[in-house]
Amino acid sequence: MRFVPRFTDGQDFTQALGKIVCVGRNYVDHAKELDNPVPSEPLLFMKPATSAVALDEPIDAPFSRGEVHFETELALLIGETLSEATAAEAERGVVGIGLALDLTLRDVQSRLKEKGHPWEVAKAFDGACPLSNFLRLERVPNWSALTFSLDIDGERRQYGEGADMIFPVATLLAEISRHFTLEPGDVVITGTPAGVGELPRGSELHFTLTGGLEVVTRVVD
């Protein structure tokens, strides 16, 4: 069943889910933990709508294809068309904020990177982007004050702050809109903080986001 963007008050968004634009290495500590250079401009790639599933449903990851790694990220739901937008216009185009789990086939990605090939096989498979429901923007008045976290089996594994992004939300969306038109129903996931690692089978995942969003789910064993 195709993922439907939904707000935390239970109302579905008026548009179907479109493309998912992803940002790599948007936190300095995460770039360093994978021995990657810190980018001077946003590193962008995409996941299709078919990669999206509900974060609060059990996560059925493709463990048969190698190590599956978790990357927790802020997710922005786009509410109006953005093309060549200014930072102010881009910020006004967001109608909701939630959380995403950017699942990555790390062994596959490493092989692709060594060959200079695109990452989609490692990043865009079915189920590769579990998404939460979205908080309406009035619940999130200050981007830089946003915090989010992931605990696995009761242990804190990731913690991020909006203020620590290399490219903050408004700047990031304006830059994305220079390359790809963003449309209502698109989602932008904004990069992961340090602490990524292998997703444990059968584990319990507990996510939180400033504004009252909390999701608990499990990984299929």
pTM of the predicted protein model: 0.95
- pLDDT surpasses 80 at 33: no
Domain ranges of the chain: 20-218
- pLDDT surpasses 60 at 31: no
Q: What is the pLDDT of residue 123?
A: 96
Give percent helix, percent strand, percent coil of the chain, each to the nearest 5.
25, 35, 40
Q: What is the pLDDT of residue 144?
A: 83
Greater confidence (38 vs 119) lies with: 119
- pLDDT surpasses 70 at 40: yes
Q: Give the angle subtended at the CA of 214 by the CAs of 209 and 220, to the nearest 5°.
A: 115
- pLDDT surpasses 70 at 32: no
Express as a percent the part of the chain with pLDDT over 90: 83
Q: What is the pLDDT of residue 140?
A: 75
Q: Which helix (H) or strand (E) is 130 found in, with range?
A: strand 129-131
Q: What is the three-class DSSP state of 211? A: coil
Place of tokens 């069943």: 1
Name beta bridge partners: 189: 22, 75
Q: What's at 175, amino acid-wise?
A: E
- Render 134-180 in DSSP notation, one character per residue: BEEGGG---GGG-EEEEEETTEEEEEEEGGG-SS-HHHHHHHHHHHS
The predicted model gives 127-154 an average pLDDT of 92
The predicted model gives 201-221 an average pLDDT of 97
The predicted model gives 189-204 an average pLDDT of 96
Q: Phi then psi for 40, rounded to 5 degrees?
A: -95, -10
CATH of 20-218 among 3.90.850.10, 3.10.20.70, 3.40.1190.20, 3.40.50.620: 3.90.850.10
The predicted model gives 15-38 an average pLDDT of 82
**Mean pLDDT for all residues in the chain:** 93
